[in-house]
Every structure is written in structure tokens, then in C-alpha cells.
Amino acid sequence: MIDVEDLIALVRNYNPHTNADLIRKAYAYGRKMHEGQFRHSGEEYFSHPVAVAAILTEQRLDDATIITALLHDTIEDTRSTYREIAEMFGEEIAELVDGVTKLTNLQLNSTETKQAENFRKLFMAMSKDLRVILVKLADRLHNMRTIRSMRPEKQLGKARETMDIYAPLAGRMGMQWMREELEDLAFRVLNSEARNSIMRRFITLQRETGDVIHKITNDIRLELEKAGIEADVFGRAKKPYSIWRKMEKKDQGFSRLSDIYGFRIITENEADCYRVLGAIHQRWRAVPGRFKDYISQPKSNGYRSIHTTVYGRDGKRVEVQIRTRQMNEVAEVGVAAHWAYRDGERTENPFLVDTKKWINSLAERFDNADDHGEFLEHVKLEMYADQVFCFTPKGDVVKLPRGATPLDYAYAIHTRIGDSCVGARVDGIRVPLWTRLKNGQSVEIITAEGQTPQSSWVDIVVTGRAKAAIRRRLREEDRERFIKLGRELARVAFDHVGKKATDKALATAAKQLGLKSAADLLARIGAAELPARDVIEALYPELDQGGDEVEPKRAVVGLEPNQTFKRAACCQPVPGERIVGITYRGQGVVIHAIDCEALAEFEEQSHRWVDLQWHSGTHAPVNIVSLDLTIRNDAGVLGRICTLIGEQHANISDLHFLDRKPDFFRLIVDVELRDVEHLHAIMLALEAESDVASIERFRDVGRKP
């Protein structure tokens, strides 16, 4: 464990004016509070807060953050209280310690609904003081560095949480070095075999080619000397997880993956960045499509640098990053630079943006999200975003995540423009809406009155804003359509029992079923979320509508006395068809049509077969049969289909769509009918309808009895 004087020395290296006495006081207090506590490794527990504080000194952070690190587990794990810390160390530090405690208590890898709510709390805590998340990230980094002492199942949970939440969050905060280390530590747990394989390949590659990094670094320095440019050059092999991700993304083996080395050139000023770029491109051939200028168009977290990839020694791809010293500071420590010291003084970095504004805007944007899943999706999209920059026809810049489409661009401009989008021109050329935009392109959106979002758009866009706007508009349109359909289904169901679907009856049914209004009731019926016959049962429980689970006892001949039966869901046999029964222990007999494909699995179990037949005579219209319909997508068509079925004295018990196309719908309609003749009559009537493209009986062997 690091001694208190050694810790103070680490702080004094960058902040000679540090309050050493307060750090000593915090060190002694934290050690006393954690006395008798030990880590899984057997070490004294207080070694962990001290290690977290040491990590934060590497980022040259202020005294309050260092002291918070020393005390960050006291409120949660000891008898210490907020008031006691406030009295001893001040309100600022007490607030920070309390904030870290609240973050620790959030179970970010829990169920989706709870996870979304915890994300809200996470961003609220961060918006109050970003130093809270800096301490939490350092806490997670040390825990991952020492994760081997935990139980295997605990390691997996922590590693997944780190990979999903903390690593991308560190990246979004501009702390790229921490993101890479967190990813690699999690990768070591989640897929140690893959990581070890990459490490072995590296060793083999170094044995075959020698020290490539040293050679290329010298090549670059030589070119800069020729151009008279003063700059520092650093080279490194990329982290195993970064290489693995490239292999997965490009579906390439290690031997074909060439850009596994990265080089950084640090200059004195911005002008030299572009001079370096010129020297590099004059000496080596640039790889097309691999140039990004984040100096002229910075990332939203303040990151600035020029990225280019060239063909270096032996034709190997080499990735080069060019930036000034101040830009490099932002790239290395990100948001931590707000509290960092340089030469003993707090300094303002001109390239540092206010990450707090990003967090506040994110929390505000999704504060009223309609559903938890959407909120969670948007948060993760924001955290993982790697931006591209496009131009409006007037020359304004629009920032979008990598992979964004013209539809994302349209919704970024205004929701109204997105909703009415019918096409796009990129650099003056008409392109499909699913085209992936690239840096520097000029985009023009073509709109038309009457255009509305299509359901397929959700899969085209990548931004949370666009997805939310499309889904919201689709819900509005679906609701109107479902209400109309639900009204027709309700009318048919009410007519079936000799009743009228009046507004009062529907409102009463809605109240009985716990819904807000008759409109909600109709929308749920139209969306196939509520069978119309459930509405009838709620209003008229005395009416026996029957069902496919319980049928008249004498409907089938050949059963033992008191032996129960039900129709198989896979083939849905109806009176008039040849049938056979299969016995199930505890379930009675399940009746199948004689030609049902599901019977093949019972060929070797003849003792379970029962010879059955339908009782002669008239049967009640309680036998549900599923019909597979393809109908024209036009106003009123579905209503006419429902009416046609009702005219055949049959009831629609359920309905759901399999596919929606601009010109046709494919749907499954569950119809209650008497027998096979009734079924043929309904299918014949539907087949004769000009708006019906095809109709057939829907059978699904995968359905359970």
C-alpha cells in the first residue's frame, strides 16, 4: 500500500501548493474507518482507496478529488456519515463522497427497466459534479486491475458491466487511455482465449519482423527532420481488444489485419500539424477513405487531432495521429483536464469543451422518454458515438454518429423535415435514404407534403433522436388505424351476440377492463392486444361464447367417460375432418387432424393413439381456425374483410400482422366457426373478394398442443 507521504509527493509533483495536512487527515481517517476490513485478495481494504487516489494523481487532479478517492467507500462500508465528513473536510468533499456512494449503489447491469432508471440517476449525479464520475472510473479501473481475486462468476458480471458501461463512458468523457485499458482488462476476463491468441500472434510477428515500431518511428523522425519540423514521435502496438474488434468488424484474420500499429506526432502549434501531414503524405502513399481532420471539425467532447493511414514499411498500414501538446492533453485526460494542474497552476485548455453541457443535454433530452428501452438505447448510442460532419446547402455543419444516414441528418435538422423526407442528394447526387454519410459531404433533403415515416425507417436510422421521432409518429398513426380497425372488430363481435357496440357500451367495457377510455379499448383490439370476445365477456358474462379449450362433451366420439380433450393448436381440426387423438399424462387427449405433420413424432408410440371421430349433427361456432391472408393495402379494405367474415356468421377472435408493405399486408386472422363446411364457405367468400390476393389455412407444426 502506498504510504501517505509518497501519495503527497505524487500530488506535489504537479501541484506544489497542495494542502498536505488535509490529505494526511483524510488518509488517517479513511484507514481508521476501514480498519479490520480486507479485500478478496487478503490485502488491507484501505489499500484500494489509496490506489484509486494514486490513479487520479496520474491525471494531475485537485486536492478535493484526491481526498474524495481516499474516502469514497467510507459512507457505504463504514460507520462514517455524510455529516461527519462535512464537518471534518467540508461540504464540497462530503458532496463528492456522497455522489460516488450513490453511483456505487446503482446496479447498472440489472434488468432493462431498472437499468434505464439507474442511467438517469447516473447522469443526474454526473451533471452535479463531474469529478464524481472521475473517482468512480478510477475505482472501477483499480477493481479491474485486481479482479483475479474475485469469484469467476463475479468477474464475468463486473467485466460485462465494464465493457458495456464504464469503458464507453470513459471514452465519451474523452479519457481514451482509460477506455482502452478498461476494455482490455474486461476482454481478458470475457474472452481470455482470444486475447491470448492475439498476444501469441504479436510475439510471432515481432520475431519475424523485428522491432517494427522502432523502425517506423525512426522513418517518421527522419522525414520531419528533412522538412525542418520539430515534433515528438511515439509509436505503439494497439491493444488486444482493439485488434479483436477490428478483426470482428472486418471479418478478417490476424494475418490480413495490417493496421495494428499506431503512431502519434506531437507538434508545437496547429500550423505544424498540417506541415507534418504534408510530409507524411509526400513520403508514404495514403490509404483512401482513412483521413479525418478533427482539428477543423472537433468531436463533441473536445477531441482534436488529424488521423491518417498510410502504407509504411513492407506495405503495412500505419495509422498516424497528429496533434499539438494542448490537443494531446485533452485527448489523454479528457474532462479531467478541467481540474488538472500544469506547472503548479490550474490552467484553462483552449481546446477543452464543457462535457457537463453534453451530460445536461442528454439527461434533459430523455427526461420524458416514453419507454425505458428507448431511453437505454439512446444513452448507449450517445456513449458509443463516433462522429462524422456533414454540411447543409448553406454551409452549416451538422454532427452525426458514424454510420448515420440522410434520414438521421433530416431529423437532426428538424423533426418536421425528417417526417416529410422523400429523398436526399449527397454532393448533388440523388442517393437512397439508407446511404451511410461520410465526413465533409454536403446533404440536401427532399420533402413532400403528405409524406409520413415508414416503419422500415427505424432500421435505417442510427441516432436516438431519429429513432424516437419515427417511433412516436408511427405510434400516433398506428393508434388511429388501430382504433378504426378495433371499432370494426368490436362491431362484428357485438353483432355476433346480438348486441350493439355503442359508445356507452365501449366506455363501460373499457372501465371494466381497467383502460382509460373507449379509444384505448378500440386501439388495443385493433392492435390484436385484446381479443374482442374478452370485451363481450366483460360486459355480458352470462353469454356462453365458448372457446377452443373447452368444447361440448359429446362433440367427439370415442373418449373414455370423463376423459377431457382439446384441439391441437398446430393443425386446428374442425368437425367434418378425420381426426385422431394422442394421450398426454395429466392433459387428457389432444385431437389432431389425420394429416397433421406433428403426428410423425408419435409413430413409435402406438399406445398413445386414440381412434376418434366427430359427433354427427350441428356444432357450436367455437372452433378457432387461423387464416393466412394477403390483402391490398388501401383504405377500408381490412374493414370490408372483417365485415365479410361477419356476414358468414363467424367471429374474429384475434388478428395480427406478419408483414406490412406499401402495397400489400400479410396477416393472420383467427376465426371462430362451426365445421369444415363453414370454413370452406368463409374461404370461398374471401377468395372471391378482389382485394384479397391470397388466402390459405395457416398451420404451424411448432405450436404446442
Q: Which positions are catalytic?
A: 76-77
Asked if 444 and 424 touch (Cβ cutoff 8 Å), the reply is: yes
DSSP, res 16 = T
Query: How far apart, in whole angstroms, are the C-alpha atoms of residue 472 and residue 480?
Result: 13
Q: Which residue has the cell 499539438?
A: 324
Query: How far apart, in whole angstroms, are the C-alpha atoms of residue 161 and residue 140?
Result: 10
Q: Across-strand partners of 442?
A: 391
Query: How far apart, in whole angstroms, are the C-alpha atoms of residue 456 and residue 461?
Result: 9
Question: What type of residue is 410?
Answer: A
Query: How far apart, in whole angstroms, are the C-alpha atoms of residue 269 and residue 504?
Result: 76
Query: How far apart, in whole angstroms, are the C-alpha atoms of residue 64 and residue 69?
Result: 9
Asked if 590 and 570 touch (Cβ cutoff 8 Å), the reply is: no
* Length of the chain, in residues: 705
Query: How far apart, in whole angstroms, are the C-alpha atoms of residue 623 and residue 671?
Result: 8
Question: What type of residue is 472?
Answer: R
Asked if 622 and 672 touch (Cβ cutoff 8 Å), the reply is: yes
Sign of CA dihedral 567, 569, 571, 575: positive
Query: Quick one: cell of 34?
Result: 476501514
DSSP, res 238 = P
Query: Quick one: cell of 572?
Result: 386446428
CA distances from 110 to 155, 160, 163, 299 (A): 16, 11, 15, 31
Nearest by Cα to 668 from 695, 645, 703, 648: 695
Query: How far apart, in whole angstroms, are the C-alpha atoms of residue 301 and residue 478?
Result: 38
Asked if 199 and 240 touch (Cβ cutoff 8 Å), the reply is: yes
- Provide the edge-to-edge strand list for the sheet that holds 609-611: 565-567, 588-593, 579-584, 609-611
83, with CB counted inside 10 A (0-12, 13-18, 19+), is exposed
DSSP secondary structure letters along 612-640? -EEPSS---S-EEEEEEEEEE-STTHHHH
Helix ranges (H only) for 72-106 are: 74-77, 82-89, 91-104
φ, ψ dihedrals at 105, nearest 5°: -80, -10
Q: With both helix axes pointing from N to C terminus, report the angle between 212-227 and 270-283 in degrees, rounded to the nearest 10.
A: 110
- Between strands 588-593 and 565-567, the pairing is parallel
Query: Quick one: cell of 232?
Result: 515528438
User: In sequence order, which residues have a C-beta less than 8 Å from that of residue 191 and are 6 or more positions away?
Assistant: 244
